Structure 1
Amino acid sequence: MVNLNLFKRVNLLVYVLCGLLTASHVQGALWTINYPRPIDDSDARAQYPIALLKLALDKTGVNYELRPSDRILLTGKAMRQLRENREVNVVWSMTDSQREKELTPIRIPIAKGLIGLRVFVINKNKRAKFDNVLSLNDMRKLTPIQGEEWPDTKILQANGFNVFTVPEFREAYDLIGQGKGDIFPRSVIEVNAELEAEGPGSNLYLEPSMALYYPTAMYYFVSLNNKTLANLIETGLQRAIDDGSFDELFNSTYAPILTSLNMEERTVFSLENPLLPVETPLSNPALWYKQNKEE
C-alpha cells in the first residue's frame, strides 16, 4: 500500500526543487532584451523608458543585455513585430483595449499618465485663432492632426473632434508647418524634444496657455507568450517604486520639462477615454502624476 503522507512529502520536495532550479536559471541566464531602435540615437523621448527599464532589470538581479533593434522601428511597426516575436521583445507605448488583447501589458504607468497630458503645436500664423478658445466646445471647432494607428485619434474622435490623420508623426509636423490643420496635440513628455529636432527656423509654435488631458498610461508590453519577462519587469518596477528610485528618476526627468511648459498656469481641458481598459490601476494614486488645474 502506498504511504500517502510520504507521497505528498516527495511531491512537495520535487515542487520546491523545481522552483529553486527555475529561479536559479532565471537569475543565471543571460537575458537579451531588444527594444525598438529610435529614429536616432539622440532621441530624447527614448532615454527615460530605456533608463527606467534598466533600473527595473537591475532591481531583479538578473543577468541581462539591453539592445536596440537592428533597424528603426516606429510604434506601429514595433507592435506588429512584438506580436510576431520578431526583432523586439519589449516595447513601450500608450495602452488601449486592443493592444492589451494582443500583447501582455505590465500595468505600471511608466510616465505616471503624462502621456495623456497634451499641449498644442500650432502654426505661428494661427496664434490669433486661439484667443477665442475659451471652452472645450470652442476647442472642438479646431482640427487636430494625429497618427492613423494611434489610440489618441480614437479618443479625440470619441470626444467630438474631427481628426485629420497621417501615417507618422513627422508628416503631422510638416502639415502644421504648411498651415494645414489647427493643432498637433503632443504629450508633455514628447513635445520639447520634437520641437528641438524641428529646429528654431521653423514656423512651428507651442501654444502657451492650454492643454488637454485624458486618462491613459504608457506601459511596457511584451508578447503574450513571454510571461517570465513580464514578471521580471513588473517585479523590478515595483521594487523601484518601493525604494523611491522610480520617483527619483521620474522627477529628475520630467519636473524640469513640466516647469518649462508652465503647466501650473495652463488651463487643462479633460476628455473621456473610452479605450481605457478596466484593469488600468487608476485607484492607486502613487502611480499617477497629479495635475492641479483642470477645467
Structure 2
Amino acid sequence: MMGPFCANIARAQSSASPDPAHHVIEIKLADLNDDNPLIDYRKAVLELAMRATGKRFSIKGCQVADVATSDQRYVQLIQAGQYCNLMTTSAGSSMTRGLEGIPFPIYLGGGGYRVLMANAASLQRARDIRTLDDLRRFRIGSGIGWTDTHIMQANGLDVVQGNYLNLFEMLKARRFDFYNRSVFEASGELETYDRDHQLAIVPDLVLYYPVDLFFYTTPGRDDIRDALLDGLRKIHRSGELAELIRQHRSTRQARQLLKSTHPRVIVLNNDRLTPLERKAIETYRLDWFK
C-alpha cells in the first residue's frame, strides 16, 4: 500500500512527465532560409509529411551565423543537436554516417538522373555516346569530395575535380568535356552562370545511378525520425508526394524533359549506399518517364 508521502512523490513525477498529446516536435532545418527552388522543395516535402502525421510540430532554420555553412559543418551541428537537428543531403555520403537517416528518397528516385553540361566542342562529340565505355573516353567535371565524384570514379570514368563555381569556367576553358549535373539543377545553372551562352546541356542523354536525397537527423531524436518517416510514407501512399513533384517549380520541368525526349540512358553502379538507403530507393519509386 502506498503511503501519503510516496503518493505525493508519484503525483509530482506524473505531473512533471511530458504529455505526448501536447508534445511539439521542434525541427531546426539546415538551409531553411535559402531562397532557392531546390531548398523550397525540401521544405515543402517536410511540411507535407509532418502535417500528414497529425502531430504537433514547428519548423525553423538553424540558429547559426548568417555566413556560408558547408554540409560538413551542418553535420557537426546536427550531431550536437542544439542549433540544428535536420538536414537533407545525398544518400551514400560518408559525412552522414554519424547521423540518424530517415530511409525515404524525397525525389522518389529522381535524384539519380543526371545530365551532362557541355561546351561547344564536346557537345558535338556527345552525339556518339551510347554506352558507359563510350563515356569513359571523355573527362567529366565534378565537385571535390562529392558523392557523385566517388560514384563516377568507381565506374571507371575520368573525373576532374574542382570547386562548384569554378567548374563552370573550367568547362568553358575545355579543362574537361562535360560537367555532371542533376536534372533539377542544370537549366537554372545555365541561366545563372552562363550568361554568354558558351555551354549547353547534351540533348537526349541521361546518366542514372541509384541515389537520392534523404533527411538526416540528430542521433537519439526518435520523435523526429519516426514521425517524419511515417509522414513520408503516408504522402507517398496518398499520391500527394507525386503530385508535389508534378507541380513544384523545381521538379516539374525536369519530369517533363525526361518524359518528352526519350533519352539514351547510361546506367552506373553505386556501391556507396547503406543497405537501408538502397532498400528505400528500390521501394519508393516514381516512373520519371511517364
TM-score (norm 2): 0.82
What letter matches 1:130 in structure 2? A
Any conservation in 2 of the 1:116–1:215 contact (CA below 8 Å)? yes
What letter matches 1:279 in structure 2? L
Q: Which residue of 1 aligns with 2:99?
A: 103
1:124 aligns with 2:104: no
1:51 aligns with 2:28: no
In structure 1, the residue corresponding to 2:219 is in which secondary structure?
Answer: coil
Of 137, 151, 158, the match for 2:154:
158
Any conservation in 2 of the 1:45–1:193 contact (CA below 8 Å)? no
State the shift of 1:55 in Å: 0.9
What letter matches 2:59 in structure 1? L
Alpha carbons of 1:32 and 1:112: their partners in 2 closer, same or farther (altered >3 Å)? closer
What letter matches 2:136 in structure 1? R
State the shift of 1:188 in Å: 1.1
In structure 1, the residue corresponding to 2:156 is in which secondary structure?
Answer: coil
Q: Deviations over 1:88-126 (max 9, x none)?
A: 211111111634531111111100111111100111243
Of 233, 241, 254, the match for 2:228:
233
Give the 5 Å matches for 1:169-208: 169-208=164-203
State the shift of 1:268 in Å: 0.5
Any conservation in 1 of the 2:259–2:288 contact (CA below 8 Å)? no
Alpha carbons of 1:176 and 1:262: their partners in 2 closer, same or farther (altered >3 Å)? farther
Q: Which residue of 2 aligns with 1:9?
A: none
Give the root-mean-square deviation of aligned CA atoms. Answer: 2.8
What letter matches 1:92 in structure 2? T
In structure 2, the residue corresponding to 1:67 is in which secondary structure?
Answer: strand
Q: Which runs of no fewer than 5 residues in structure 1 stay unpaired?
A: 3-13
Return the alpha-carbon distance in structure 2 between the equivalents of residues 151 and 53 of structure 1: 23
Return the alpha-carbon distance in structure 1 between the equivalents of residues 261 and 79 of structure 2: 39
Return the alpha-carbon distance in structure 1 between the equivalents of residues 288 and 242 of structure 2: 16
Q: Which residue of 1 aligns with 2:4?
A: none
In structure 2, the residue corresponding to 1:280 is in which secondary structure?
Answer: helix
Give the 5 Å matches for 1:265-284: 265-280=262-277, 282=279
What letter matches 2:154 in structure 1? A
What letter matches 2:109 in structure 1? G
Q: Which residue of 1 aligns with 2:5?
A: none
Alpha carbons of 1:264 and 1:247: their partners in 2 closer, same or farther (altered >3 Å)? same
Return the alpha-carbon distance in structure 2 between the equivalents of residues 52 and 193 of structure 1: 21
Q: Which residue of 1 aligns with 2:144?
A: 148
Return the alpha-carbon distance in structure 2 between the equivalents of residues 51 and 63 of structure 1: 17
What letter matches 1:258 in structure 2? R
Equivalences, count = 273
Any conservation in 2 of the 1:34–1:68 contact (CA below 8 Å)? yes
Alpha carbons of 1:211 and 1:96: their partners in 2 closer, same or farther (altered >3 Å)? same
Identity percentage of aligned residues: 22
Q: Which residue of 2 aligns with 1:214?
A: 209
1:289 aligns with 2:281: no
Of 54, 57, 61, the match for 1:61:
54
Give the 5 Å matches for 1:245-264: 245-253=240-248, 254-260=251-257, 264=261
Return the alpha-carbon distance in structure 1 between the equivalents of residues 44 and 124 of structure 2: 40
Alpha carbons of 1:202 and 1:121: their partners in 2 closer, same or farther (altered >3 Å)? same
Task: Answer with 156-165 or 244-253: which moved more.
Answer: 244-253
State the shift of 1:197 in Å: 2.2
State the shift of 1:288 in Å: 1.2
Return the alpha-carbon distance in structure 1 between the equivalents of residues 105 and 281 of structure 2: 11
In structure 2, the residue corresponding to 1:65 is in which secondary structure?
Answer: strand
Alpha carbons of 1:192 and 1:77: their partners in 2 closer, same or farther (altered >3 Å)? farther
Of 111, 115, 126, the match for 1:115:
111
Alpha carbons of 1:260 and 1:292: their partners in 2 closer, same or farther (altered >3 Å)? closer
Q: Which runs of no fewer than 5 residues in structure 2 stay unpaired?
A: 2-10
Alpha carbons of 1:101 and 1:266: their partners in 2 closer, same or farther (altered >3 Å)? same
Any conservation in 2 of the 1:33–1:89 contact (CA below 8 Å)? yes
Alpha carbons of 1:203 and 1:106: their partners in 2 closer, same or farther (altered >3 Å)? same
State the shift of 1:256 in Å: 3.1
Return the alpha-carbon distance in structure 1 between the equivalents of residues 287 and 103 of structure 2: 18
